Amino acid sequence: MLNKATVIGAGLAGSEAAWQLAQRGIAVDLYEMKPVRMTPAHHSNDFAELCCSNSLRGAEICTAPGLLKEELRRAGSLLIACADATRVEAGGALAVDRVAFAAMVTEKIKSHPNITVHAGEITHIPDEGHVIVATGPLTSDALFDDIKNKIGQHEYLHFYDAAAPIVSFDSVDMESAYFASRYDKGTADYINCPMDREQYDAFWQALCDAEQAPVHGFEDKKVFEGCMPVEVMGRRGHDTLLYGPLKPVGLRDPRTGKDPYAVVQLRRDNAAGSLYNLVGFQTHLKFPEQKRVFSMIPALRNAEFVRYGVMHRNTFMDSPRLLDRHFRLREQPRIRFAGQMTGVEGYIESAASGFEAGLNLARELKGLPLIEFPDTTAIGALGLYVSNEANVKFQPMNINFGIIQPLGYRVKGKREKNTQIALRALEQLDELLDTVKEDVL
């Protein structure tokens, strides 16, 4: 049992955790309820399915997501390696062919000699042995109840996530759209669907009046800001969308030489470029309403919706009261948690928590000291954020430079300052990784 661990959930965090354990000689029992049991948000049998966007956000190290990805890349992350291998063009972002990405992760996990995959639902955390629970925002009811029993009086917090629709490229009216990236940054990878004032007004009114699918027990104020449904944004005011996903600034229409009144952007969703998702259009409108309202966008008047947007449950823990910086349950440290349920928000953040949990569990099982990632690194800053008991009103958090230790001296310009923070982080990370190179088989 000393060299064996259980991982529950084969999403981004669970897959990364299992890989890090296996790479260090730990036998892993990986449990995944798909395909025996699916959820409303899942469409594929593969591991590490990207349910919402196919973008892993910024790629440059002067952005916090870019720094986190580079840290994970240097540390031997499976998820980043697969993302790099299945990348599709998306300007300054790292976006992937989501089908190819999940397929590659699945193949790597299933073919690893130290990982045994078990299909089927787990209804309770094993009573013995070391466990990483990475069941994500759609944890089944039975396991959810067992987790609540394990953590005692601390209660779960909750919100809802929403996924954006996907359309076929061939159905987009390119006479009413154009390729461009904002401010001409990078390559022109986004399809931009402009609207004039009259078209936007009609669209906005229809969006606000459209019928939603039932979302039991929640009101708009409880929808997590980072994944807010487009109709919720619309109801907050006529101009709200113009400062959000329909922001036209820097997207000059080549036919007019001017910025449109409003722009809906489409981002490539697969390597072939045959599918595009509506950026920022997470929604829980009924499917016929999505077709009716989104077809009012001129370039999408005849759009073929290959997948409609869905709204699904998301849960997260009161982690500062429950977990330490290594994602261990304070009162039962043999149990670790990883992924969105810990309050790290985002694909890469979930992978990072799984990386840290798997890496340090392997070291613990081998009698080695745990690696203390400092708060000057993105990996360390995330772990310290979710375990900081000073966070009284805890909310999920994307990686950002605000939670990374400041430089301690002034640097002119935000981009240059962030670059200096990133270079410091990577230098310290490299020094730390040099001391544990022998840890990987």
180 and 261 belong to one structural domain:
yes
150 and 231 belong to one structural domain:
no
Residues making up the binding site for FAD? 9-14
What average pLDDT score do residues 310-326 get?
85
Statement: the pTM of the whole predicted model exceeds 0.85 = no
- Average pLDDT score, the chain: 89
Q: What dihedral angle (degrees, nearest 10) is formed by the CA atoms of 9, 13, 16, 17?
A: -70
339 and 294 belong to one structural domain:
no
Is residue 169 within 8 Å of residue 274, measured between CB atoms?
yes
175 and 211 belong to one structural domain:
yes
154 and 22 belong to one structural domain:
yes
What average pLDDT score do residues 167-181 get?
93
Q: What dihedral angle (degrees, nearest 10) is formed by the CA atoms of 61, 271, 338, 436?
A: -50
Domain encompassing residue 102: 4-159+315-439
- Cα 299 from Cα 177, distance rounded (Å): 6
Give the end of a domain, one of 279, 309, 339: 309
What average pLDDT score do residues 53-81 get?
94
176 and 299 belong to one structural domain:
yes
- Cα 267 from Cα 253, distance rounded (Å): 17
Q: What percent of the chain has pLDDT over 70?
A: 91
- Residue of 36, 10, 188, 231 whose CA lies nearest to 121: 36
pLDDT over 90 (residue 263): yes
83 and 17 belong to one structural domain:
yes
- Residue of 300, 310, 221, 209 whose CA lies nearest to 263: 300
204 and 85 belong to one structural domain:
no
134 and 193 belong to one structural domain:
no
pLDDT over 90 (residue 274): no
324 and 411 belong to one structural domain:
yes
50 and 172 belong to one structural domain:
no
349 and 391 belong to one structural domain:
yes
